């Protein structure tokens, strides 16, 4: 499983990229709005930092509008992936993007049927939202497992992005459930590194070293 960062903040993207584990970036309208910057300009900056897939979401709700916006987004850089919401209009747009060889990430996926439809429309990625399912008392990880088994059974090549990741447990379990990618905030990436025994171990090594080298 690969790591994407879920943010539109360039400092966070640079920090995650410096760790040597970053394979891509996802953004959404809420994350971009938080930055208060020009959307296209910010995407240009992000695509210059990260060579992997950078998801940029359309705002239009009709297929025609999505296609127009998506073409403009895709023209910013070759590593832009157009993020499209899981709707009937979204599916029409995904089919068109697929014929134009523009990569797509179908977002706001909450059921296996939605994932199957997105894949059959030609989506490059589907994004099931774990945390938001957990929030309403469902099990987000079960959905990842079902989609993963379904795609395997039907030899579907669309990649699964575990999204709406809230904590480290989501990450390892997404990997074990068959997600190809997990996208998460910088805070969660940093939490993955932490273990109290690692910190204690470093402290002890340094204490012993300093005692011997007084
Ligand atoms: C994924 O592409 C989305 O941007 C994201 O993971 C949503 O996460 P949230 O539910 O924490 O807002």
User: pLDDT tens digits for 83-125?
Assistant: 999 999 999 999 999 999 999 999 999 999 999 999 999 999 9
Residue (of 148, 136, 146) closest to 178 by Cα position: 148
Average pLDDT over residues 174-202: 98
User: pLDDT tens digits for 150-184?
Assistant: 999 999 999 999 999 999 999 999 999 999 999 99
CB contact at 8 A, 135 and 156: no
CB contact at 8 A, 3 and 25: no
109 membership: H or E segment, kind and range: strand 104-109
Nearest CA to ligand 1 atom 12: 164
Banded model confidence at residue 214, pLDDT cuts 50, 70, 90: confident
Tell me the C-alpha distance between 144 and 161, whole Å: 9
Average pLDDT over residues 39-60: 98
pLDDT the model gives residue 43: 97
Question: Is residue 194 annotated as part of the catalytic site, yes or no?
Answer: no
Tell me the C-alpha distance between 70 and 38, whole Å: 16
Tell me the C-alpha distance between 162 and 195, whole Å: 23
Residue 76: pLDDT above 90? yes
Name the pTM for this structure.
0.96
pLDDT the model gives residue 7: 98
Question: Distances from the Cα of 39 to the Cαs of 23, 32, 56, 82, 160, in angstroms?
Answer: 21, 7, 9, 13, 25
Average pLDDT over residues 60-77: 98
Structure tokens at 123: 């989506």
Nearest CA to ligand 1 atom 9: 164
What is the residue whose two structure tokens read 């399912």? Answer: 133
ipTM above 0.85, yes or no: yes
Residue 28: pLDDT above 90? yes
| Cα 49 to ligand 1 centre (Å) | 21
Nearest CA to ligand 1 atom 8: 164
Tell me the C-alpha distance between 146 and 116, whole Å: 11
Residues 6+ apart with CB under 8 A from 158: 115, 118, 119, 123, 124, 125, 126, 151
Is 4 near ligand 1, meaning CB less than 6 Å away? no
Give me the chain's average pLDDT, please: 97
Go through the domains of the chain in sequence order and give each one's CATH number: 2-212 (3.20.20.70)
Question: How many percent of the chain have pLDDT more than 90?
Answer: 100
User: pLDDT tens digits for 121-145?
Assistant: 999 999 999 999 999 999 999 999 9
């Amino acid at each position: 499983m690969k790591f994407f960062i879920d943010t539109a903040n360039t400092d966070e993207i640079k920090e995650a990229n410096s760790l040597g584990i970053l394979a891509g970036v996802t953004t959404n309208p809420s994350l971009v709005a938080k930055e208060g910057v020009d959307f296209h300009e910010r995407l240009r900056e992000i695509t210059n930092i990260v060579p992997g897939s950078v998801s940029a979401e359309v705002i239009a709700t009709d297929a025609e509008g999505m296609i127009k916006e998506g073409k403009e987004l895709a023209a910013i850089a070759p590593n832009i992936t157009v993020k499209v919401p899981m709707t009937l209009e979204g599916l029409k747009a995904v089919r068109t993007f697929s014929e134009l060889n523009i990569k797509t990430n179908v977002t706001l996926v909450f059921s296996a049927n939605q994932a199957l439809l997105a894949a059959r429309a030609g989506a490059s990625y589907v994004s099931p939202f774990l945390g938001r399912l957990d929030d309403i008392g469902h099990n987000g990880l079960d959905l990842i497992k079902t989609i993963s088994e379904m795609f395997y059974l039907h030899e579907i090549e669309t990649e699964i992005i575990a999204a709406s990741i809230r904590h480290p447990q989501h990450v390892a379990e997404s990997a074990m459930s068959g997600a190809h990618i997990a996208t998460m905030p910088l805070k969660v990436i940093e939490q993955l590194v932490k273990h109290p025994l690692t910190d204690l171990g470093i402290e002890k090594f340094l204490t012993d070293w300093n005692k011997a080298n007084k």
